[in-house]
């Protein structure tokens, strides 16, 4: 029996004198689900699961997470190994196509990334039309959608393997150019075009920070850090933005439209936007000198909407393995180079306070991927409002992999949850003069 097949094991549901039974679905790592898809037909009941705390929306062979043990694997490979040994393009290939690329496949993929790094020149007017104060996530989403309009043949050809491969490489390559152009537009500098001689990450840093007015040497330590950052963000199974991509894609909306919906979902401060919020909290602490204990008290106060961004996770109930990778990377970067940052000590101290605090311990609130990523990006010179854009560049291969998995599955259906209606019962129309 294959992982994910329904087993002869059943779960029984008893309501009054009726008994219903539903098949158990077991995953590769022995995680169990109950397939209740026929429950409404059998009994008239729908299941209620606010915020999908306990809903498996699909079977998936892309990413495995064990939130209790702090395990994260892409296609079976541990995140720690990938972050240390793989390149981001290699990881993207692994997520999308299921296996590590051969030498030949990786060379061809890198060539496609290089050849498709430019965005259409007409898009320059889009960047210029945006107000300089526009949030880069808004710009990213608008322009990624617009890019689709410049290559409409992809909408029709996405079922053909070659066209899909080209579309994927084009998206992964162009998102980095769009992000760098959005930044340059926001600071009023001319765009720096992609350089065919540079690797994926070095090219991005060069487009962000070089200019005719100053020399910019891409630092290999920062390239290594950026590569690992993008890898740890590359997928995280059915999170809010990925579920959004799948939801939108389930109506057979094209890949560009589905990705843009994912970018919008990622923007929120409870999801990808938490990295900006976490960094801003550290900056405020540094600038105002507010005692860390006061920050902790605010985070615990139920009357205060403030939360300690970068802590807590829906799935991880122990240390987020991605935060561990980033913490190690950060220590390596700051201990063995000229980089330094006063926020580092504040972050370490805040983490220690949280890990020993009863409120945080009881609720299993540990640092998540967003807690340390901001400090690493700061070392590169990337400003706080670009952090969620960086997350989106990293997450793009995961979104594409999930869209493809759903698209290739002939049994997938349009996603359409049910509800329990709690509004008024039927009532008679009231003419305007009687209201």
Are the C-beta atoms of 192 and 207 separated by less than 8 Å?
A: yes
> Measured between alpha carbons, how far is 42 from 64 in angstroms, rounded to an integer?
32
3-class DSSP assignment, residue 64: strand
User: Could you tell me which stretch among 69-77, 88-96, 243-251, 311-319 binds ligand ACO (CB under 6 A)?
Assistant: 311-319
User: Smallest distance from the beta carbon of 418 to ligand ACO, in angstroms?
Assistant: 21
Q: What is the smallest separation between the CB atom of 359 and ligand ACO, expressed in angstroms?
A: 7
Residue 347 touches ligand ACO, criterion: CB under 6 A: no
Q: How far is the CB of 63 from ligand ACO (least distance, A)?
A: 13
Here the tokens at position 266 are 């990622």
Number of residues that bind ligand ACO (CB under 6 A): 19
Residues 351/296, Cβ–Cβ less than 8 Å: no
Q: Which two tokens stand for residue 60?
A: 């998936």
Report the candidate in 229, 275, 265, 266 with the shortest Cα–Cα distance to residue 385: 275
Of 22-81, binders to ligand ACO (CB under 6 A) are 51
Instruction: Enumerate the active-site residues.
Output: 313, 370
Among 369, 379, 380, 392, binds ligand ACO (CB under 6 A): 369
Give the phi and the psi of residue 257 in degrees, each rounded to 5: -65, -40
Q: Is 270 in the site for ligand ACO (CB under 6 A)?
A: yes
Q: Does 363 bind ligand ACO (CB under 6 A)?
A: yes
Token code pair at residue 274:
């938490």
Shortest reach from residue 318's CB to ligand ACO, in Å: 14
Of 85-93, 192-200, 252-260, 265-273, the segment contacting ligand ACO by CB under 6 A is 265-273
Measured in whole angstroms, the distance separating CA 8 from the mean position of its chain's CA atoms is 36
d(CA 133, CA 213): 23
Nearer to ligand ACO, 207 or 299 (CB): 299
- What residues does 25 pair with on adjacent strands? 6, 33
Distance CA 154, CA 156 (A): 5
Instruction: Select 119 or 326, whichever has its Cβ closest to ligand ACO.
Output: 326
- Is 313 an interacting residue with respect to ligand ACO (CB under 6 A)? yes
271: contact with ligand ACO by CB under 6 A = yes
Q: Given CA atoms 82, 83, 89, 94 in this order, what sign does their dihedral have? A: positive
Subset of residues 385 to 404 that bind ligand ACO, contact rule: CB under 6 A: none
Contact between 308 and ligand ACO by CB under 6 A: the answer reads yes
Instruction: Determine the distance from the C-alpha atom of residue 283 to the mean position of all C-alpha atoms in its chain, rounded to a whole number.
Output: 24
Task: Compare residues 112 and 299 and give the one whose CB is closer to ligand ACO.
Answer: 299
Choose one: 39-47, 264-272, 285-293, 330-338; the region binding ligand ACO (CB under 6 A). 264-272
**DSSP letter at 409?**
-
Residue numbers at the binding site for ligand ACO (CB under 6 A): 51, 270-272, 274, 299, 307-314, 363, 365, 368-370
């Amino acid at each position: 029996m294959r992982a994910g097949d329904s087993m002869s094991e059943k779960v029984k549901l008893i309501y009054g004198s009726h008994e219903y039974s539903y098949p158990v679905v077991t995953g590769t790592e022995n995680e169990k689900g109950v397939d209740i898809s026929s429950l409404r037909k059998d009994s008239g009941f729908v299941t209620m699961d606010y915020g999908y705390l306990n809903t498996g929306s699909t079977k998936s062979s892309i990413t495995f997470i064990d939130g209790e043990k702090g395990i994260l694997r892409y296609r079976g490979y541990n995140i720690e190994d990938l972050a240390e040994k793989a390149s981001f393009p290699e990881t993207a290939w692994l997520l999308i196509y299921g296996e590590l690329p051969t030498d030949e496949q990786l060379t061809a993929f890198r060539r496609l990334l290089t050849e498709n790094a430019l965005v259409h020149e007409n898009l320059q007017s889009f960047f210029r039309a945006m107000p300089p104060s526009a949030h880069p996530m808004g710009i990213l989403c608008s322009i990624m959608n617009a890019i689709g309009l410049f290559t409409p043949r992809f909408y029709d050809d996405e079922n053909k393997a070659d066209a899909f491969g080209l579309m994927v490489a084009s998206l992964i390559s162009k998102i980095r150019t769009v992000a760098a152009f959005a930044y340059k537009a926001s600071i009023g500098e001319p765009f720096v075009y992609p350089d065919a001689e540079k690797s994926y990450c070095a090219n991005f840093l060069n487009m962000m920070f070089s200019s005719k007015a100053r020399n910019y040497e891409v630092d290999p330590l920062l390239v290594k850090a950026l590569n690992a950052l993008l890898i740890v963000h590359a997928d995280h199974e059915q999170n809010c933005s990925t579920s959004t991509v799948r939801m939108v894609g389930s109506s057979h909306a094209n890949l560009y439209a589905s990705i843009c919906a994912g970018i919008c979902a990622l923007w929120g401060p409870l999801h990808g936007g938490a990295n900006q919020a976490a960094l801003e909290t550290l900056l405020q602490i540094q600038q105002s000198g507010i005692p860390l204990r006061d920050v902790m008290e605010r985070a615990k106060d139920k009357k205060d909407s403030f939360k300690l961004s970068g802590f807590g996770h829906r799935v991880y109930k122990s240390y987020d393995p991605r935060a561990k990778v980033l913490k190690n990377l950060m220590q390596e970067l700051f201990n063995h180079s000229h980089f330094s940052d006063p926020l580092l000590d504040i972050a370490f101290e805040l983490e220690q306070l949280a890990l020993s605090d009863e409120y945080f311990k009881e609720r299993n609130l540990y640092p998540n991927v967003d807690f340390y990523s901001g400090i690493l990006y700061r070392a590169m010179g990337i400003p706080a409002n670009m952090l969620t854009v960086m997350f989106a560049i990293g997450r793009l291969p995961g979104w594409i992999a999930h869209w493809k998995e759903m698209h290739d599955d002939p049994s997938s259906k349009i996603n359409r949850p049910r509800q329990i209606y709690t509004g008024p019962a039927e009532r008679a129309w009231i003419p305007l003069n009687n209201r």
